[in-house]
Amino acid sequence: MTTFSKTVSKSFSKTIGLAAIGLLATTALTNAQSADPVKVGILVTLSGPAASLGEQARDGFQLAVEQLGGELGGVPVEVVVADDEQKPDVALTRVNGLIEREGVDFVVGPIFSNILQAIHKPVMDADKILISPNAGPSSYAGAECHPNFFVTSYQNDQVHEVMGRVAQDRGYERVFVMVPNYQAGRDSAAGFKRHFEGEIVDEVYTQLGQLDFSAELARIAAMQPDAVFTFMPGGMGVNLVRQYNQAGMKDRIPFLSAFTVDESTLPAQQDAALGMFGAMTWAPDMDTPGNAEFVDAYIAKFGKVPGSYAMQAYDTAMLLDSAIEAAGGMGDQAALLEAIKAADFQSLRGDFAFNKNQYPIQDFYLVEVAQRADGMFQTQIVEQVFDDYGDVYADACTMGG
């Protein structure tokens, strides 16, 4: 079988248009003997400090396609990968290129919620199916839900709600909250406060992409809270954890976070993150069908431990595989949408179903950073915090109810 996968390269021109989208040939996924392939456009962040997040999502999706023999639902698949550069204007150009030039059937992405807000409308207007394997903002979980939009990760608030519940249960009375100033950051603070009843001694919104936290750490040291809650993905999290450790605060003030210490940041953080807590729907050590095999295959192929970004993208490919097969191919979009919503696949995280807003209902866990026997670092399950948990915005969505 011959296969094709293309990567939309970064444009170095200040004027970014369709003509500036370069395509780099990579691994192949198509079958010249059969019907036109399913075309999937992956739009994720592949450059800058947060590139590791997008790389995990891209690699997780393509690993699943490889294991499925280059097909989704028995239909050959062509994957086109584009870099949004973590810039909304670039993302808009790239997604238009995927739709108009590449003619993709599905858009899978992005990583960041502000990027999702830039691409959501053009994908919906084009009547394509958009599946987010990571970003899950509140803005599309309620009244603005859409039948062509699915999220295979979580609603942003939920993972942070885990930490609010943990802080409350552990008796912390005074917590310092620090998050980046964009949609997911605001959702994270809202999620934490939903279950934490104590005092928020300060609520700091940093610049997205900030890498120096010396001023914020000085404020934390002066206030001496019972704990710090933060959400700093990618390079932000790498620097924050290093600086927190260097300031001698790790052993004095408990560090509660989500997406700050995970498999995308741990290769750079290493010992500085040991023992720190996170929250997630999954961890590499989870005992669910197929999970150990997925982790082993990912490490063997990419030389690193997969994180939630890889797992969620892998699940997205398996969801599409099950839906295209159930719908009998790509000919009937209504049947395909119903098959996606049915979510008749085995998620690596175990329990998984779509709520009426097409965000997941699933379990959530407290996780902790540990070192593996092979010397690499990963998060591990500590305890389950929420069971079959849906988000609070779903009731405002009128689809299916």
CATH topology for 157-280 is Rossmann fold (3.40.50)
Q: How many CB atoms lie within 10 A of CB 214?
A: 9
291: nearest Cα among 267, 303, 272, 308:
308
Dihedral over Cα of 56, 61, 65, 68: its sign: positive
Q: What CA–CA distance (Å, rounded) separates 299 from 59? A: 11
The 10 Å Cβ neighbour count of residue 355 is 24
Quote the pLDDT of residue 49.
Answer: 87
Question: Which pair of structure tokens corresponds to residue 275?
Answer: 């023992």
Across 223-254, b (16+ Cβ under 10 Å) vs e yields eebbbbbbbbbbbbbbbbbbbbbebebbeebb
**CATH placement of domain 5-154+287-362:** 3.40.50.2300
- Per-residue pLDDT tens digits for 110-123: 999 999 999 999 99
Cβ-contact 80, 5 below 8 angstroms? yes
Enter the DSSP assignment of 252: T
What's the confidence (pLDDT) of residue 5? 56
Which residue from 6, 60, 1 is spatially nearest to 311, judged by alpha carbons? 60
Q: Which of 338, 333, 311 is nearest to 53 (CA)?
A: 311
Quick: pLDDT tens for 75-101.
999 999 999 999 999 999 999 999 999
Domain boundaries, the chain: 5-154+287-362, 157-280
- Point out the residues of the chain with pLDDT beneath 70: 1-35, 400-401
75-83 vs 71-72, strand pairing mode: antiparallel
**Beta strands 71-72 and 149-151, pairing class:** unpaired
What are the Cα distances from residue 328, in Å, to 139, 247, 321, 390? 33, 58, 11, 30
- pTM of the predicted structure, to 2 decimals: 0.88
Give backbone dihedrals phi and psi of 80, rounded to 5 degrees, phi first.
Answer: -115, 125
Task: Establish whether domains 5-154+287-362 and 157-280 are of one fold.
Answer: yes
Helix axes 291-302, 308-326, angle to 10 degrees: 120
User: Looking at residue 36, what is its pLDDT?
Assistant: 80
Q: Which helix (H) or strand (E) holds 82?
A: strand 75-83
Closest CA to 243 of 204, 210, 203, 202: 210
